[in-house]
């Protein structure tokens, strides 16, 4: 039956606490019951093992009747000697093992129950008893091929506790036969110290001995019934009692070292122990066997005639299993020394008993034999007295001489106190050993009558949840699995040990037909009682009803939930359809959005292109605008100049007309005067001279153009006088130049010189307004400096003679203005008039003399230069004109 370590569907905390209270209230009852059970006693279990005959020729004096009965026959009977005392003695033991019984069978029948006791914290003693060479050591230790009880016990023990072993040094011997619990940190320090010692070589550890390994390996199955909430540790001691002295076989130091005898003491629990004995914590069966073999080497071996390797001492191999409960989470050992439970299994290989007359021992061997026999005798005496005391309860108890021998002293607590004692009587069936065998069997039979109190360690109820350690372990495995599956949040989970409960340990194994049936049945009864109690505590018997009720409620809930689920499913289906329809719509819209997005992108690209083009156009427009502005400014300035010129022209025209009117008025006045007086013939003569002058002027048309510059208002006046008094001078034709007409006229006595200026200045009318603005010659000279290679001032010179013969030189100054056609024209904006008086006033003198004053000379030079220039179209031409007139650019224009 498996242990009931289940996780219920739901155990509320209150229920768990109530269960705990119930548990604690019933703990006193349990203790009482345990006391009752503790009062039960078991006899010493005596087994008989008959070894095979040492040699084929040997006669056997032993016959096995059945599994519990053995018959010992006298040698005479064996030999068929009718004359000798023929006697058959029958002995009954718990079990009789025939010679062919295997080591495993011996272990299973005898030792395995003791290992179970050990796991449950009970003490057990197993010792071999028999004549030298009867197979005691073989049974207890065995050899590499036939492993004895001891290695098998260790093997099955480690297999059972392997998953529940505490780390090394968590339990530490307190040297008073007890243990203390070290904290995890202290235990770690101890482990590190041991490791350091090992590195330094202080602790020499051999590699795994193949012989040991072979002894360690076996196919034993682990035992059940272990308390899985406890931590376990195994400690061993190995001592020998030699010549009634106790020696520690595991004492550290050289093997050859002489061992010091130890004393036996009693601990607080009235258990006997060897004070100061070396107790080694072992973690595997190999370590234990290694320790055992180390002790074996120290064991004093003597050779007797009867047995080549006879044990001359009693050896005791103690296995102690220390266990303590884990904490509430089932992880660490509870740090409470009182919770420690110690179980002890003492495996004793007693020295062989023999009569010295047979062994022919002398000296030391004789003394050894004496001591051996003495100790065995003491054992016998103790057990006899004990039996008597037990059987005669009313009689005064005999004092049991435990202290007479170290062996009995050491095991006093087994006989006086609690535990289980098993003895295996080894019988060598040789006829020669009949007498010794008879003694042994007699003693063994008697020993069976000794009752030993059954040990039932009371387990303190700490209120800890059974199964917590397993639950913790499973929880960790589950967390690891979740972690591996990628659920990182699993790390944060805390295990709730409160959800775990158990009805108790495993169901015990039993066989009704076995010799131990009686005790097994009792054990089973105890187990069932405990389970029933536990069931009551957990309320398992009412759980059924509650569970049924709960189940019905659940069914109802389930039904309503199903209905709800069905309606929800319908709603869900509806929603799902709607959702899928919406999804389709979304998909359609998404695709149209994509199309629109593409369109938008295309449009954006187009807009960008257009924007770039617009920018280009704008730039061009700006450029054109600037150009237009520039042109406008240019034309504005030009217009202003033109307007100015026109105004001036009008003024000039006006002045000229005024002059003409005045002249005409004068003429009219003169004519009227003449008509009225005799002055007419004089006036006609004068008129004749004027006509001559006019002809002279006409003849000068063949002269260079420079001379034609000398147009004077007088010329106009004369023309007017000659042709028509009301003649309008043709100076207004200067406007024809604006029409870009290129013409030359000699009509009406006026001379037109080739020109390109848009606004030719009628010099005859221009001179008059500028007379008042006369400038000096010096000013003209200043202009030289201003006219460099790119001079823009131009000079027009004209000379004329008035009626008094004075020569008047006019200097017209103007600017070059480029024309639209790429040419240039000169616009005059200033005029200077220089007058040179004739030394003899004469109306016929029209020209200034060649050798005039400085200004006249200068003007002459200018005029000479001017005569070489016909027209100036461009600035370059103007620059070219620069040559020859000392930097003056002299422009000849229409005259």
Ligand X SMILES: Nc1ncnc2c1ncn2[C@@H]1O[C@H](COP(=O)(O)OP(=O)(O)OP(=O)(O)O)[C@@H](O)[C@H]1O
Task: Please report, in range form, the residues annotated as the binding site for ATP.
Answer: 130-137
Interface positions, 414-473, toward ligand X (CB under 6 A): 426
**Rounded CA separation 744/736 (Å):** 11
What is the nearest approach in angstroms of ligand X to the Cβ of residue 111? Answer: 15
DSSP structural state of residue 432: G
Q: Could you tell me the two tokens for 706? A: 């420079």
What is the nearest approach in angstroms of ligand X to the Cβ of residue 216? Answer: 20
**Near ligand X by CB under 6 A: residue from 307, 318, 361, 448:** 307
CA–centroid distance for 167 within its chain: 34
Q: Is the CB of 54 or the CB of 397 nearer to ligand X?
A: 54
Q: Is the CB of 333 or the CB of 444 nearer to ligand X?
A: 444
What is the nearest approach in angstroms of ligand X to the Cβ of residue 239? Answer: 17
Q: Is the CB of 312 or the CB of 755 nearer to ligand X?
A: 312
177 binds ligand X, rule: CB under 6 A:
no
In the chain the first and final C-alpha atoms are separated, in Å, by: 150
Size of site (CB under 6 A) for ligand X: 17
What is the nearest approach in angstroms of ligand X to the Cβ of residue 105? Answer: 11
The Cβ of residue 210 has, within 10 Å, a number of other Cβ atoms equal to 9
What is the nearest approach in angstroms of ligand X to the Cβ of residue 512? Answer: 29
Instruction: Answer whether 77's CB lies under 8 Å from 66's CB.
Output: no
**Rounded CA separation 700/442 (Å):** 196
Q: Is the CB of 44 or the CB of 351 nearer to ligand X?
A: 351
**Rounded CA separation 324/164 (Å):** 11
The one segment of 302-310, 580-588, 696-704, 809-817 that binds ligand X by CB under 6 A: 302-310
What is the nearest approach in angstroms of ligand X to the Cβ of residue 322? Answer: 31
**Near ligand X by CB under 6 A: residue from 230, 311, 323, 472:** 311
**Near ligand X by CB under 6 A: residue from 310, 318, 346, 437:** 310
What is the nearest approach in angstroms of ligand X to the Cβ of residue 141? Answer: 8
Phi, psi at residue 100, to the nearest 5°?
A: -85, 0
Instruction: Answer whether 240's CB lies under 8 Å from 315's CB.
Output: yes
**Rounded CA separation 329/417 (Å):** 36
What is the nearest approach in angstroms of ligand X to the Cβ of residue 286? Answer: 23
**Near ligand X by CB under 6 A: residue from 47, 91, 107, 138:** 138
The one segment of 68-76, 307-315, 756-764, 786-794 that binds ligand X by CB under 6 A: 307-315
Phi, psi at residue 891, to the nearest 5°?
A: -105, 130
**Rounded CA separation 425/437 (Å):** 9
Q: Is the CB of 122 or the CB of 312 nearer to ligand X?
A: 312
| All residues at 6 or more sequence positions from 662 whose CB lies less than 8 Å from its CB, including other chains | none
**Near ligand X by CB under 6 A: residue from 43, 52, 508, 852:** 52
The one segment of 191-199, 256-264, 305-313, 728-736 that binds ligand X by CB under 6 A: 305-313
DSSP per-residue codes, 214-244: HHH---PPPPS---TTEEEEEEEEEEEEETT
The Cβ of residue 644 has, within 10 Å, a number of other Cβ atoms equal to 13
Q: Could you tell me the two tokens for 876? A: 């370059």
What is the nearest approach in angstroms of ligand X to the Cβ of residue 354? Answer: 8
Site track 329-358 with ligand X (rule: CB under 6 A), x = hit: ----------------------xx------
Interface positions, 97-136, toward ligand X (CB under 6 A): 130, 132-136
Q: Is the CB of 123 or the CB of 361 nearer to ligand X?
A: 361
51 binds ligand X, rule: CB under 6 A:
yes
Instruction: Answer whether 140's CB lies under 8 Å from 49's CB.
Output: no
Report the DSSP pairing between strands 341-349 and 124-130.
parallel
What is the nearest approach in angstroms of ligand X to the Cβ of residue 132? Answer: 4
3 binds ligand X, rule: CB under 6 A:
no
Q: Is the CB of 128 or the CB of 339 nearer to ligand X?
A: 128
**Rounded CA separation 7/639 (Å):** 116
Biggest alpha carbon–alpha carbon distance for the chain: 240
Q: Is the CB of 187 or the CB of 441 nearer to ligand X?
A: 441
Q: Is the CB of 216 or the CB of 426 nearer to ligand X?
A: 426
Instruction: Answer whether 16's CB lies under 8 Å from 498's CB.
Output: yes
The Cβ of residue 458 has, within 10 Å, a number of other Cβ atoms equal to 13
Residues at the site binding ligand X, with contacts judged by CB under 6 A? 51-52, 130, 132-138, 307, 309-311, 351-352, 426
């Amino acid at each position: 039956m498996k242990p009931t370590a289940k996780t219920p569907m739901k155990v509320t905390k209150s229920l768990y606490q109530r269960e705990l209270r119930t548990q604690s209230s019933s703990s006193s009852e349990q203790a009482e019951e345990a006391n009752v059970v503790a009062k039960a006693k078991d006899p010493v279990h005596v087994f008989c093992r008959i070894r095979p005959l040492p040699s084929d020729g040997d006669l056997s004096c032993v016959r096995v009747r059945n599994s519990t009965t053995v018959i010992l026959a006298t040698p005479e009977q064996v030999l068929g000697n009718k004359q000798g005392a023929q006697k058959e003695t029958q002995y009954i033991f718990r079990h009789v093992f025939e010679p062919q019984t295997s080591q495993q069978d011996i272990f299973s029948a005898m030792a395995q129950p003791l290992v179970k006791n050990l796991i449950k914290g009970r003490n057990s003693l197993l010792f071999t008893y028999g004549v030298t060479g009867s197979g005691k050591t073989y049974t207890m230790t065995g050899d590499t091929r036939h492993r004895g009880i001891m290695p098998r016990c260790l093997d099955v023990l480690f297999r059972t506790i392997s998953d529940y072993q505490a780390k090394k040094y968590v339990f530490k011997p307190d040297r008073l036969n007890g243990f203390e619990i070290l904290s995890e940190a202290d235990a770690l320090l101890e482990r590190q110290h041991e490791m350091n010692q090992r590195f330094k070589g202080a602790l020499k550890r051999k590699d795994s001995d193949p012989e040991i390994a072979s002894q360690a390996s076996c196919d034993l199955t682990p035992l059940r019934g272990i308390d899985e909430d406890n931590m376990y540790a195994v400690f061993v001691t190995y001592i020998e009692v030699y010549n009634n002295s106790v020696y520690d076989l595991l004492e550290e130091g050289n093997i050859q070292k002489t061992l010091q005898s130890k004393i036996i003491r009693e601990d607080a629990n009235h258990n006997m122990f060897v004070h100061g004995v070396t107790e080694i914590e072992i973690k595997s069966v190999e370590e234990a066997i290694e320790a055992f073999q180390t002790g074996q080497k120290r064991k004093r071996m003597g050779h007797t005639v009867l047995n080549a390797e006879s044990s001359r001492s009693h050896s005791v191999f103690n296995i102690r299993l220390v266990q303590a409960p884990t904490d509430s989470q089932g992880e660490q050992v509870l740090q409470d020394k009182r919770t420690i439970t110690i179980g002890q299994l003492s495996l004793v290989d007693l020295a062989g008993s023999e009569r010295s007359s047979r062994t022919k021992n002398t000296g030391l061997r004789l003394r050894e034999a004496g001591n051996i026999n003495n100790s065995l005798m003491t054992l016998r005496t103790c057990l006899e007295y004990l039996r008597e005391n037990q059987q005669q309860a009313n009689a005064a108890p005999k004092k049991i001489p435990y202290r007479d021998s170290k062996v009995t002293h050491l095991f006093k607590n087994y006989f006086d106190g609690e535990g289980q004692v098993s003895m295996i009587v080894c019988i060598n069936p040789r006829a020669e050993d009949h007498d010794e065998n008879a003694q042994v069997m007699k003693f063994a039979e008697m020993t069976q009558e000794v009752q030993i109190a059954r040990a039932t360690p009371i387990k303190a109820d700490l209120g800890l949840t059974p199964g917590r350690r397993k639950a913790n372990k499973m929880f960790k495995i589950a967390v690891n699995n979740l972690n591996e599956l990628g659920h990182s949040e699993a790390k944060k989970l805390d295990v709730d040990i409160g959800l775990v409960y158990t009805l108790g340990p495993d169901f015990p194994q039993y066989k009704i037909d076995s010799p131990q049936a009686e005790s097994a049945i009792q054990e089973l009864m105890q187990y069932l009682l405990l389970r029933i109690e536990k069931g009551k505590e957990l309320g398992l018997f009412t759980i059924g009803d509650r569970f049924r009720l709960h189940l019905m409620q659940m069914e109802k809930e389930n039904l309503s939930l199903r209905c709800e689920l069905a309606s929800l499913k319908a709603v869900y289906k509806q929603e799902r359809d709607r959702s899928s329809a919406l999804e389709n719509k979304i998909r359609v819209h998404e695709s149209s959005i994509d199309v629109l997005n593409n369109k938008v992108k295309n449009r954006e690209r187009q807009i960008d292109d257009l924007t770039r083009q617009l920018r280009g156009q704008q730039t061009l427009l700006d450029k054109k605008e600037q150009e237009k502005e520039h042109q406008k400014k240019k034309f504005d300035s030009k217009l202003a100049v033109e307007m100015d010129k026109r105004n001036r022209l009008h003024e000039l025209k006006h002045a000229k007309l005024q002059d003409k009117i005045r002249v005409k008025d004068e003429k009219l006045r003169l004519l009227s005067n003449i008509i009225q007086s005799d002055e007419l013939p004089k006036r006609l003569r004068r008129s004749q001279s004027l006509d001559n002058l006019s002809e002279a002027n006409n003849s000068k048309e063949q002269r260079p153009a420079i001379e034609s510059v000398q147009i004077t208002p007088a010329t106009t006046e004369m023309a007017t006088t000659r042709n028509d008094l009301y003649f309008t001078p043709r100076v207004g034709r200067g406007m024809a130049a604006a029409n870009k007409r290129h013409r030359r006229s000699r009509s009406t006595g006026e001379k037109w010189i080739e020109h390109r200026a848009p606004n030719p200045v009628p010099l005859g009318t221009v001179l008059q307004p500028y007379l008042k603005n006369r400038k000096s010659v010096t000013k003209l000279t200043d202009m030289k400096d201003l006219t460099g290679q790119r001079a823009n001032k131009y000079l027009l010179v004209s000379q004329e003679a008035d009626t008094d013969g004075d020569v008047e030189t006019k200097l017209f100054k103007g600017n070059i203005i480029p024309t639209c056609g790429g040419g240039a024209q000169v616009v005059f904006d200033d005029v200077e008039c220089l007058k040179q008086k004739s030394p003899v006033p004469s109306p016929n003198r029209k020209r200034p003399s060649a050798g005039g004053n400085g200004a006249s000379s200068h003007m002459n030079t200018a005029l000479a230069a001017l005569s070489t220039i016909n027209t100036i179209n461009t600035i370059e031409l103007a620059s070219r004109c620069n040559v020859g007139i000392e930097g003056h650019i002299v422009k000849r224009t229409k005259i």
